[in-house]
Structure 1
């Protein structure tokens, strides 16, 4: 019976349902988000701190699964915001008497912070700082003249810092233990490797594409803050690398592995799972069959590392600089900052000119809904609108049927806990859906948290929802009409980085390559980014989208990169010739004008390929070179890149 292809809409619905399913620690994080937001709302009501909806938004935006990180990040953010408020004081004194100067200051600092966020690793944090700075300046229109410096700035500082203090204290006392989070991650990896050997590779691919950076960061927390004895902390760091190596090996295991060998590996992995669950030392894996392949050897070595006191010195991957190398030469960063600033200031001028302060959420929306490429921005807008409608429906229901019966702060806190639990559950999903949860929470907060007493009026909530929709329209217009940045450029750049990463991995001496788990993880993370960006392609305007053939080529190239990366990491052969070919291919797929003189897909020079690389790798790379030479990955996309580039 012939099967029809699944429509994009049906595929997205199926994916959304899957993204809402439970996973380890999801409820633990969701109820903590709900509890912190409830406490923040209660504190704001009791002490008269305005705009508590923004305070709760900061919590749901910053919350992570790890209690240690949730203690450190808010403290750092509070320090940064305090500096911003101090800087704002000087700006206020210069602009308080001139609305025009105030608008110019908002535009200037908005552009600067957005640009810094786009061109550095600050990322969305730069947009949050720009939002706080611009929003604080708009308070000049709401606070009585003469009291802004004494009261307005204090309220603004309390609005931003109070939730961070509550979040840090709550996480310090009740946050999930870093050790527990790591243990859950190790259990997930062992289970994913076992499922892959049993024929289900979906979870394994997901964990591989998440990379190893978060787990390594938590292992560093364990060592720095002495959360475990020194020897145990060292073993945890080894286990993080070894468990990721096990995923790489399970992902590279050929389908034709004898059943007896597969059964042996399965038994070893199950034994490791049982030992981890019981808190017991892991036992050494069984000996492998003669002539075992590289993937089998890699899996056994990973299990051996997790069960022994041997602690090799794993080599970290080269770190990307904090500031992008092309920060001063790539116009995409300035264009992004300028477009979002234009949208935000335009919304401010609009609602100020028509004296409709209730839709001030339009400006807030511009900062929190913007991303570097058009496809990412439109996808986020779709999540924002859908989340806004759900959150608004919850808020209006609460105003009509629940809040008329409330007269105590604890009752408001209970309402906040229940609603934020729903938003927190959605916000803990992956990036395909997470922002919808943030928006559900924000829309609900904006409807319910009006003033310092329970409200029964829909007018203010309605105004704020209208503001969100106006901001969405503004961001959509600037993203699609003013030098749109197509996903093609970002996909191509990430593909070039992945190829360069594999070239670096292949150039390492065979006896040292197994210590470079981090480098293999970087490539897998890039593969995940590319697949996510390909998922976003339907959200782009049609005139910006890749052609059908380009989509096919990129999808196949991504699959080949994923497989070849694992084969290279596990190989014990000299792959220097393969490295040279990968390096040339990276240059040819990369941004036009990179200085590469190679022809995409050209064969290696005579004698360069010394046949040390296995035939399967050479055939796979040959196919990748054919895809690079076809034009679908390079030449046809130059026009798209010239139109905008990626953030």
Structure 2
């Protein structure tokens, strides 16, 4: 897939305006987060619990696009937190009177919880829990008496329990249905495909972005809809088949729109695009299209490759939500598994491990990066804790909290996020300070404070719900704004408190940056090579699979993995030269990824019409050659395939794949000067 034109460029004023522009669902998500944070602050004011800023900020971590996963995440976090607070109470019995022992307990509990954060399903909330544990033990050291210590632990529990309870209530009333999210994503993909068919050049960027995102989240949303009981089994099966058909439609569209010589005539493309728009309209209303009877104009004049791709496109549309018969489905699944067993051995092994241990990741106890992440974050947090204790400057205790909130796995991610952290923190501090100077002195009630919190949160949530290029900055805006404005159970405008808290945030960011990039750096390069190997195995597996829905689901997974690798390659340019990969190494991997993207459409069409074709494996080996160190694996003049007496369609598709491989191999190198690529998601 072609890389975005803006990739590698720094944010310009025009880019910032585009990234802040309205998008479908953005206003609703930002308003829901702002309302939840405002209600959290209201509850903390009523019960006068400490650290209202942290309670409000927790909402950003436990909120998900759909109501089901938001509620599940909240309940799981509450159960885990209750268990951990109980553990802290046991630890506190013998550590509360000894500062050294208390620090040792903070280190051990922090490292253990952060390991779980990196190596298990606790990834979204584990760091928050580790931070709460450390904060609780710190508070016990300040008030080491029985009743006060117990009250401190209760407040630590309430610090997270309050936002969890409010988040559950808000999502039960206003949360978005996972079914509507799934249908909305499918509708968006169909509209993009329709626009690309009508105007191939104008719709190229949108189609590339849609292919990178693919329909991978849809399967999770449909499973959540089944879990909450809003999707009957028959409709679940139909929408799962619709998601698989959408992948086939996107890839067939890519096959006929990438190059001018492959474009479908307007008279042929127009009725297909109109049908896709009508299907998208039905999906946007929460339903799904059935009984589609698209009959395109005669295709005799189309080139053989375009004719085959167009036939696949029409077939995917006409059978969009028609589930296969149970018998054929089971047989197809068995055949697909048998055919793909050898090609996908590594992928299947990882899947088997994941099923065997659903809580831990497949590499939880074999990948040392999980332990390194836990130790590095704990070291940074412990340094900050000891620093503000030795300086006797408790006002900057936010440096300790910040280490847990901003720690990342690799040096590339750390450096990439640093700019967003500092920019977001500065913007949030400016917004909070302006509120303290001009707005807070005029506030006379808690209701007025709620209005101010809602306005400030809405701004930060709007940024946070946008593109990954700026989303992380929105989180930092919210954090700094809350620390400035929320100083107690009533409006307060002590600028000294705001100053100290912002200094703590900046200090925590600096310590994390130094530890993760200078003291103990980990390069992202190893992750890229492992992902490229998985990508090659996944494409080989889907090419050998004979069951259509299985093959299409694997194609969606492959497209999503290609998008992830693209982001990691962009991030790699952030790493310091002392630990990062060389420009030539990056160029080799970029070329491998370009080859996979260029041949994705026609290769998938060939796999649909001729699954298990040995020529597909040959092209895949050629495309992935650079992953093994051969940067020129795709020749400029590919050998003509040896295929006597084969249908014209197959020969045309193989020729098209060869041409795309050759053209991607001759692509101009990316300049090493591009040091600020598109930001990756958090």
Secondary structure in 1 matching 2:125: helix
Residue in structure 2 matched with residue 261 of structure 1 by the alignment: 268
Identify which range, 257-266 or 101-110, moves more after superposition: 257-266
Write the mapping of 1:77-156 to structure 2, written as runs, cut at 5 A.
77-143=77-143, 145-156=145-156
In the TM superposition, residue 194 of structure 1 has moved relative to its aligned partner by: 1.4
Counterparts of 1:206 and 1:589, CA distance in 2:
24
In the TM superposition, residue 15 of structure 1 has moved relative to its aligned partner by: 4.3
Write the mapping of 1:593-612 to structure 2, written as runs, cut at 5 A.
601=633
Residue in structure 2 matched with residue 483 of structure 1 by the alignment: 520
- Give the conservation status (yes or no) of the 8 Å contact 1:223–1:234: no
- Give the conservation status (yes or no) of the 8 Å contact 2:443–2:491: yes
In the TM superposition, residue 465 of structure 1 has moved relative to its aligned partner by: 0.6
Quick one: which of 197, 205, 209 aligns to 1:206?
209
Write the mapping of 1:610-625 to structure 2, written as runs, cut at 5 A.
614-616=653-655, 619=658
Identify which range, 583-592 or 438-447, moves more after superposition: 583-592
- 1:517 is aligned to 2:566: no
Residue in structure 2 matched with residue 386 of structure 1 by the alignment: 423
In the TM superposition, residue 367 of structure 1 has moved relative to its aligned partner by: 1.3
Residue in structure 1 matched with residue 344 of structure 2 by the alignment: none
In the TM superposition, residue 178 of structure 1 has moved relative to its aligned partner by: 2.7
Residue in structure 1 matched with residue 406 of structure 2 by the alignment: 369
- Give the conservation status (yes or no) of the 8 Å contact 2:214–2:559: yes
C-alpha spacing 1:309/1:473, structure 2 compared with 1 (3 Å): closer
In the TM superposition, residue 331 of structure 1 has moved relative to its aligned partner by: 2.6
C-alpha spacing 1:553/1:602, structure 2 compared with 1 (3 Å): closer
Write the mapping of 1:223-622 to structure 2, written as runs, cut at 5 A.
223-254=226-257, 255=259, 256-259=262-265, 260-276=267-283, 281=289, 283-287=292-296, 289-290=298-299, 293-306=307-320, 308=322, 313=329, 319=351, 321=354, 322=358, 323-509=360-546, 512-571=547-606, 572-575=609-612, 577-578=614-615, 581=618, 601=633, 614-616=653-655, 619=658
In the TM superposition, residue 550 of structure 1 has moved relative to its aligned partner by: 3.1
| Per-residue deviation, residues 432-465 of structure 1 (Å, max 9, x unmatched) | 2211111111111111111222111111111111
C-alpha spacing 1:33/1:252, structure 2 compared with 1 (3 Å): same
Identify which range, 309-318 or 428-437, moves more after superposition: 309-318
Identify which range, 59-68 or 180-189, moves more after superposition: 180-189
C-alpha spacing 1:328/1:226, structure 2 compared with 1 (3 Å): closer
Counterparts of 2:193 and 2:404, CA distance in 1:
40
Identify which range, 276-285 or 233-242, moves more after superposition: 276-285
Identify which range, 418-427 or 124-133, moves more after superposition: 124-133
- Give the conservation status (yes or no) of the 8 Å contact 1:340–1:475: yes
Identify which range, 232-241 or 130-139, moves more after superposition: 232-241
Counterparts of 2:77 and 2:589, CA distance in 1:
39
Counterparts of 1:204 and 1:311, CA distance in 2:
32
| Per-residue deviation, residues 493-550 of structure 1 (Å, max 9, x unmatched) | 22221112112112223xx245322211111111111221222234222333433333
C-alpha spacing 1:99/1:17, structure 2 compared with 1 (3 Å): same
- 1:192 is aligned to 2:195: no
C-alpha spacing 1:110/1:585, structure 2 compared with 1 (3 Å): farther
| Per-residue deviation, residues 456-496 of structure 1 (Å, max 9, x unmatched) | 11111111110111011111111111231122222222222
Counterparts of 1:309 and 1:501, CA distance in 2:
24
Number of corresponding residues: 616
C-alpha spacing 1:181/1:150, structure 2 compared with 1 (3 Å): same
Counterparts of 2:378 and 2:619, CA distance in 1:
40
Counterparts of 1:487 and 1:16, CA distance in 2:
27
Counterparts of 2:315 and 2:213, CA distance in 1:
22
Counterparts of 1:557 and 1:230, CA distance in 2:
41
C-alpha spacing 1:573/1:90, structure 2 compared with 1 (3 Å): same
Counterparts of 1:372 and 1:623, CA distance in 2:
36
Counterparts of 2:627 and 2:130, CA distance in 1:
32
Counterparts of 2:628 and 2:381, CA distance in 1:
31
TM-score normalized by the length of structure 2: 0.82
Residue in structure 2 matched with residue 76 of structure 1 by the alignment: 76
Specify every segment of 5 or more residues in structure 1 that has no aligned partner in the other structure, as ranges. 593-597, 633-646
Identify which range, 255-264 or 403-412, moves more after superposition: 255-264
In the TM superposition, residue 267 of structure 1 has moved relative to its aligned partner by: 2.5
C-alpha spacing 1:97/1:233, structure 2 compared with 1 (3 Å): same
C-alpha spacing 1:6/1:408, structure 2 compared with 1 (3 Å): closer
- Give the conservation status (yes or no) of the 8 Å contact 1:78–1:161: yes
Residue in structure 2 matched with residue 221 of structure 1 by the alignment: 224
Secondary structure in 1 matching 2:534: helix
C-alpha spacing 1:404/1:78, structure 2 compared with 1 (3 Å): same
Counterparts of 2:656 and 2:612, CA distance in 1:
10
- Give the conservation status (yes or no) of the 8 Å contact 2:599–2:661: no
Counterparts of 1:348 and 1:269, CA distance in 2:
58
In the TM superposition, residue 273 of structure 1 has moved relative to its aligned partner by: 3.1
CA RMSD of aligned residues (A): 3.3
Identify which range, 282-291 or 298-307, moves more after superposition: 282-291
In the TM superposition, residue 10 of structure 1 has moved relative to its aligned partner by: 4.0
- Give the conservation status (yes or no) of the 8 Å contact 1:502–1:568: no
- Give the conservation status (yes or no) of the 8 Å contact 2:63–2:70: yes
Identify which range, 617-626 or 367-376, moves more after superposition: 617-626
- Give the conservation status (yes or no) of the 8 Å contact 2:59–2:164: yes
Write the mapping of 1:28-43 to structure 2, written as runs, cut at 5 A.
28-43=28-43
Residue in structure 2 matched with residue 158 of structure 1 by the alignment: 158
Secondary structure in 1 matching 2:320: helix
C-alpha spacing 1:311/1:205, structure 2 compared with 1 (3 Å): farther
| Per-residue deviation, residues 152-178 of structure 1 (Å, max 9, x unmatched) | 111111111111011011100121233
Secondary structure in 1 matching 2:493: coil
Counterparts of 1:79 and 1:20, CA distance in 2:
36
In the TM superposition, residue 216 of structure 1 has moved relative to its aligned partner by: 1.2
In the TM superposition, residue 274 of structure 1 has moved relative to its aligned partner by: 4.0
C-alpha spacing 1:275/1:162, structure 2 compared with 1 (3 Å): closer
In the TM superposition, residue 568 of structure 1 has moved relative to its aligned partner by: 3.1
- Give the conservation status (yes or no) of the 8 Å contact 2:241–2:321: no
Specify every segment of 5 or more residues in structure 2 that has no aligned partner in the other structure, as ranges. 338-346, 671-681
